[in-house]
A and B are shown apart, each in its own frame.
Chain A
Amino acid sequence: MADVKTFVPAPDRAPPSNAVGAFAWVRDNLFGSIGSSVATLLFFYLFFSYVPPFVEWALINANWTGTDRSVCEANTAGACWTFINVRFEQILFGLYFASNPDEIWRPTLIFIVFFALLIPLLFEKTPGKKWLVIGILGVFPVLFYFIVYGGYFGISQSNTTQWGGFLLTFALAFVGILLALPIGILLALGRRSEMPVIRSICVVYIEFWRGTPLITILFMASVMLPLFFPAGVEFDKVVRAMIGITMFQSAYTAEAVRGGLAAIPKGQAEAAMALGLGYWRRTVFITLPQALKISIPSIVNTFIALFKDTSLVSIIGLLDLLNMAQTASRSMEWKGYDIEAYLFAGFIYWAFCYGMSRYSQNLERKLDTNRRN
């Protein structure tokens, strides 16, 4: 037999030494052109003139321990985290729970349960996600009511006007998203309905709430809501704010879900119709599950916006995270430490919003590749 020569390619030569490694990266990415070099130097200048002093102030020279302002007055070169440390429970849980040491377990337990349910949900491979979702959306709110609001099983009833801090921010945002989701889904379906009257009602509702600033809605909820209900029906301030936020949020959720519904190919609904499914079965079993899956990133985005917007309740006098931090920094004992208060509250908001936005971006990327396959 004749020799069969197979082609064996020579191994690749290594790239030139000046095209790889840290040096090449620095040259390409930091000093690629004259303009780029100037920008890099400018960046370094700005960075080193602002960041190290800030780090020194915020971390290295900062005061962490102590119980009153004398510690901070002795060392003014650093931030006064002592203040946050002393008021930590207030800023997190509000006056009611912070001033009753026997009750502090209630909000603590509720947050532990919440994060125990939430964190496994963020990982892709967790088994039994369905139960976790049911736990968060169905069981958790009931638990929250019984433990934080109380009034049953020997747990004393808490005063909602004394709810505050992060607990209140969390409660407002959670109630907002929980109630807004079903209302928003119905509104989105209504807006895509073929019945003109239903469609117009939904469009007017959605556009009305979307066109008004939340602060006006909160004013409306706190001033006008009592007028709308017969005498004798009374809501406290927190519930009024929750109603306003739910109305507002449902309009935004509706738009997010509508985006998802619009992205489902028409063939899905048509195939379901051909199989003899009526409107509700078609919607509940075929279109809605697909639409909701696609619209999770936008729903999370509206949730981020809502989480930030709950801070507006401090204008109508509720002591949420922002207002609690601010109130603490204006008290006699801690006057003058506003920067620390705002930075701390800002950091909590930032950590949650940034986390959620990263999560939604990841999800978006994942869903996007699914569609291309």
Chain B
Amino acid sequence: MTERARVPLHRDPKFRALVFQILALGFVVYGFYSLFQTTVDNLVARGIQTGTSFFDEVAPFQIGFSPFFDYKLGESTYIDVFFVGIQNTILVAVLGIIAATILGFFIGVIRLSPNWLVSRGALAYIEIFRNVPLLLQIMFWNFAIFLPSLPAPKNSIEMGSFYLNARGFHTPLPVVDDSTGFTIWIAMLVILCAGLVVFARRAKARFEETGEQLPIGWISLGVIFGGGYLLYLIAGSPLVFDEPVLGRFNFKGGGQLPLPLFSLWFALTLYTAAFIAENVRAGIQAVSQGQNEAAHALGLSRKDTVRLITIPQALRVIIPPTISQYLNLTKNSSLAVAVGYEELVAVWAGITLNQTGQALVIIGMTVAVYECLSLFTSFVLNWYNKRIQLTER
């Protein structure tokens, strides 16, 4: 009985899998092809010429806020608008990520406070802010709170050289005054940091050898700020502060955060912090109590237990979902369109699309930017997960 029964071809799993896949591929290819054909027909019928030739046309609108690129009405082209949009998206994302991380960690930690009121307060914060749509929160802060209650530029709220009014938040901005002095200062700072790295290595080697611990963190902090300031004076104070000055309608000079950016930043921070706080809480609770007890049994102080035992293990659980939150924050920054902050979706997928009608190219490029960010995030996540897997036993 060596002869095996022949499986009929339509029952052979390999053959069936092949047929299914060819069918699926054919279906998808045909779908895209017919979509493409209809789109081309539609575009011809509407007399729209799709292409990238509009990139070099001069954009007929003003963008008020562009901190790093020069944007001039009448000179800048549509492609400049695209880059200004990306710049502003990244700016609010970075500001939001920094603030949301700080606030989220704070709320997450006090959520586990032994004080009942404090932990309930943190819970109330989390439950309120993450269950209300972000768009509503952005509009609420911008239109219902900040815009009506902040004063006109003439009566700005003053905090030293900082001014807050209905147009936004104005700060002094350091500007290089003496460029040779500035170069010398930066060079000296680099040498200082290199020195600190050498010092930290020595201290670590000494710790491994003798067990003596030096407060490296505090020393470095002191040297960087104290020494940095001293070197700044030695280099002849190469920076001047460009202070905001009240002009006819608004402040001129200095740095400024326009009110839409300020509201968006504020709302994104409060919203994302609620999610990060939950990650932080879950991460800290994931460290088993036995770890703390073992650390106490080894004679570690409470501070060292937190620093060396709890935090490193909790971070492993906290970091991956928090990175996803950073991506969410960046995607959510596109809601700026509601308050008029000039980021990618507002100026590119909004104004430029209305002006040129180039839906295909513009939406395609917008999606591509976010897809790149999302791919980059998952790349970072995979890298991080691989790294912590290696250190794990």
Knowing A39-B117, A213-B334, A227-B42 are in contact, say whether A198-B24 is a contact too (CB < 8 A).
yes
- Chain B interface residue count: which class? 35 or more
Say if the beta carbon of B116 comes within 8 Å of chain A.
yes
Contact partner of A224 (CB less than 8 A), chosen from B137, B335, B350, B363, is B363
Which residue from chain A places its CB closest to the CB of B332 in the assembled complex? Answer: A213
Q: Secondary structure at chain A's binding surface: helix, strand, loop or mixed?
A: helix
Shortest B340–chain A CB gap in Å is: 12
Bound CA span A342–B267, Å = 14
Contact call A345/B136, Cβ cutoff below 8 A: yes
Shortest B234–chain A CB gap in Å is: 42
Knowing A194-B17, A227-B39 are in contact, say whether A40-B117 is a contact too (CB < 8 A).
yes
Say if the beta carbon of A229 comes within 8 Å of chain B.
yes
Number of interface residues of A (CB under 8 A): 55
Kindly identify, within residues 123 to 172 of chain B, every residue whose CB is under 8 Å from any CB belonging to chain A. Answer: 127-128, 131-137, 139-140, 143-145, 148
Shortest B50–chain A CB gap in Å is: 10
Shortest A53–chain B CB gap in Å is: 15
Contact call A350/B144, Cβ cutoff below 8 A: no
Knowing A30-B116, A350-B131 are in contact, say whether A315-B359 is a contact too (CB < 8 A).
no
Contact call B115/A32, Cβ cutoff below 8 A: yes
Residues of B within 8 A of A338 (CB): 140, 143-144, 148
Say if the beta carbon of B21 comes within 8 Å of chain A.
yes
- The stretch from A2-10, A103-111, A115-123, A215-223 touching chain B is A215-223
Residues of A within 8 A of B137 (CB): 346
Contact call A197/B24, Cβ cutoff below 8 A: yes
In the complex, per-residue mask of B253-280: 1 if CB is within 8 Å of any chain A CB, else 0: 0000000000000000000000000000
Bound CA span A336–B350, Å = 28
Shortest B354–chain A CB gap in Å is: 10
Of B117, B345, B360, most A-chain CB atoms within 10 Å: B117
Which residue from chain B places its CB closest to the CB of A229 in the assembled complex? Answer: B38
Contact call B334/A216, Cβ cutoff below 8 A: yes
Knowing A30-B115, A32-B115, A211-B371 are in contact, say whether A216-B349 is a contact too (CB < 8 A).
yes
Shortest A356–chain B CB gap in Å is: 9
Contact call A39/B118, Cβ cutoff below 8 A: yes
In the complex, per-residue mask of B7-44: 1 if CB is within 8 Å of any chain A CB, else 0: 00000000001001110110010000001001101110
Kindly identify, within residues 284 to 303 of chain B, every residue whose CB is under 8 Å from any CB belonging to chain A. Answer: none
Bound CA span A207–B24, Å = 18
Bound CA span A40–B117, Å = 7
Say if the beta carbon of A74 comes within 8 Å of chain B.
no
Bound CA span A196–B121, Å = 50
Bound CA span A194–B20, Å = 12
Contact call A39/B35, Cβ cutoff below 8 A: no
Contact call A230/B133, Cβ cutoff below 8 A: no
Q: What are 7 residue pairs bridging A and B, where the CB atoms are less than 8 Å apart in the complex?
A: A40-B117, A195-B17, A195-B21, A216-B370, A220-B367, A311-B133, A350-B131
Beyond A212-B374, A231-B42, 16 extra complex contacts between A and B, CB < 8 Å = A30-B116, A195-B20, A201-B28, A211-B371, A215-B335, A216-B370, A228-B35, A228-B42, A230-B41, A230-B42, A311-B133, A315-B337, A322-B136, A322-B139, A346-B133, A346-B136
Chain B residues at the A interface, C-beta cutoff of 8 Å: 17, 20-22, 24-25, 28, 35, 38-39, 41-43, 45, 113-118, 121, 127-128, 131-137, 139-140, 143-145, 148, 331-332, 334-335, 337-338, 345, 349-350, 353, 359-360, 363, 366-367, 370-371, 373-375, 378
